Structure formats: C-alpha cells, structure tokens
Structure 1
Amino acid sequence: MPQTKKLSNNQKRFLRGIAHGLNPVILIGANGLTDNLMQELETTLSHHELLKIKMASAERADRKDIVDYILQQTGAELVQSIGKTVVIFRQNEDSELQLPK
C-alpha cells in the first residue's frame, strides 16, 4: 500500500518531535529482516503509524539497504535516520494524528 504523497519538511520536523520521546518498537538483530519480523513490522506500523526502529548489528551500507527494503515493502516514509536508529511513518486512513500543512 504505497503512500501517495511525500511528507514535507515541516511534517517531518513535527514527526521527529513526536518520535524523540518514543522507544524503539522494532529491533532488527543479527538475523536481519526475516518474514516474521516483516509481518510484525507491518502489524505494528498499522497500529502505531510512527515507528522507531533500532538495528543492532549492521554496517552503514547494510543499514541503508535494510531501510530501503522496509520502506519499499511497507509503503512507509522515512522521517529520520541517525546511526542505527530509524523513524518511519505511514498514515492510516482513520488516523487521529493531524499533520501540519
């Protein structure tokens, strides 16, 4: 379910502010992206919309590939990527979260 419009810089700033206080919900370990992890990611993203993901062991290029794959498979948008922590967002149709214009 790809997202139709990109987030503006103002919207990303707003989401980064919310994500700052969040703990990582998904932890990607040494096994990388498994089918079970992708199912859990999809379920959690549908429920929470804004997710913080922590990657335990991966090189920089590997982390970028993992993030690109997650974004492609989930239709989410990258909000922020710092080191081994990534924040992604996919708005639900019945979302109560009001993004700024």
Structure 2
Amino acid sequence: MLTGKQKRYLRSLAHHMNPIFQVGKGGVNDHLLRHISEALEVRELIKVTVLNNCMEDRSEVAEQLAQGAGAELVQVIGKIIVLYKESREHKTIELPV
C-alpha cells in the first residue's frame, strides 16, 4: 500500500509521461492485462487512457487494471489512469519513506 507522500512522488514522475495503453469498447480483458503487467515489469510506472467508447466506469476500469496486473493505483484523473508496480528485475524508482 502506498502512502500519500509516495503517491504524490509517483504522480510527479508520471506527469510528463505519455499513455502507452488505451482501454476502448472491448473493456478490460486478459490480453490487455498481460501486456500491462509486462510493461509494468519493465517501466514500473505507466499511464493508461480510457477512450470515450468504453462503456464501463473509469474508476471501475482502474480497479480492474490494478487488480488484474497486481499493481498499485496511483491516480485516476479524467480519462487517465496511473499505475505503479515495483519491478523485480528493472527497479529504477526509489520511493520516499
């Protein structure tokens, strides 16, 4: 579980990032979750965009992505979801205590 200070730090890192995945009308599926898990292992912090044609609620999509990928939900702001998962092999982000 991330503390407020850690979430603020991760939000500051994610601010300049571009989203690398999009959730559309297909919603959250196993294929998408597998790719997000792989990306999190390499990058640790990613952004996901929820498109207008997605019929599910954005906060529900964020919860499904976080649970399915085993990641921490950092932020949901507008159509953007920020996810964090500590990498086992490619650790680059040092969280504040």
TM-score using structure 2 length: 0.88
Question: 2: distance between equivalents of 1:11 and 1:27?
Answer: 25
Q: CA deviation at 1:93?
A: 2.7
SS in 1 for 2:57: helix
TM-score using structure 1 length: 0.85
Superposed structure 1 runs of 4+ greater than 2 Å apart: none
What's the CA shift string for 1:19-48, capped at 9, x where partnerless? 000000111112112322122111111111
Query: How many residues are treated as equivalent by the alignment?
Result: 95
Unaligned runs of 5+ in 2: none
SS in 2 for 1:37: helix
2:31 aligned with 1:41: no
**Counterpart mapping for 1:7-86 below 5 A:** 7-57=2-52, 58=54, 62-86=57-81
Question: 2: distance between equivalents of 1:84 and 1:67?
Answer: 10
Unaligned runs of 5+ in 1: 1-5
Q: CA deviation at 1:90?
A: 0.5
Q: CA deviation at 1:96?
A: 2.3
- What percent of counterpart residues are identical? 35
Q: What is the aligned-residue RMSD (CA, Å)?
A: 1.5
